């Protein structure tokens, strides 16, 4: 399964809203947890298996696919 179908499924089931409702981090770093989790899921689907890999993806193609990349 590719990136687009999985992210579409995540959108349809309301993953972002679910994370926003259930996850709370009591600092400014906890802002937009749903978007951050969505970015992590997309990164893992794109082959990232570490924070360094996510940074590489963030600096390249992810910003072309998503309106907000965390």
Is 14 part of any domain? yes
Rounded Cα distance between 48 and 53, Å, is: 5
Is 54 part of any domain? yes
Phi and psi torsions of 15, nearest 5°: -55, -45
Q: How many domains are contained in the chain?
A: 1
Domain that holds residue 30: 3-65
Report DSSP state, residue 67. Answer: S
Is 70 part of any domain? no
Rounded Cα distance between 64 and 70, Å, is: 13
Q: Which pLDDT does position 68 carry in this prediction?
A: 63
| Whether the predicted pLDDT of 70 surpasses 60 | no
User: For 7-53, how does the pLDDT look when each residue is reduced to its tens digit (9 = 90+)?
Assistant: 999 999 999 999 999 988 777 766 788 888 888 888 888 888 998 98
Is 16 part of any domain? yes
Which one has a higher pLDDT value, 34 or 60?
Answer: 34
Is 48 part of any domain? yes
């Amino acid at each position: 399964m590719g990136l687009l179908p999985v992210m579409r499924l995540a959108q349809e089931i309301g993953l972002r809203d679910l994370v926003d409702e259930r996850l709370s981090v009591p600092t400014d770093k906890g802002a937009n947890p749903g978007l951050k989790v969505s970015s992590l899921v997309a990164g893992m689907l794109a082959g990232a298996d570490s924070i360094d890999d996510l940074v590489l993806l963030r600096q390249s193609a992810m910003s072309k696919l998503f309106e907000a990349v965390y």
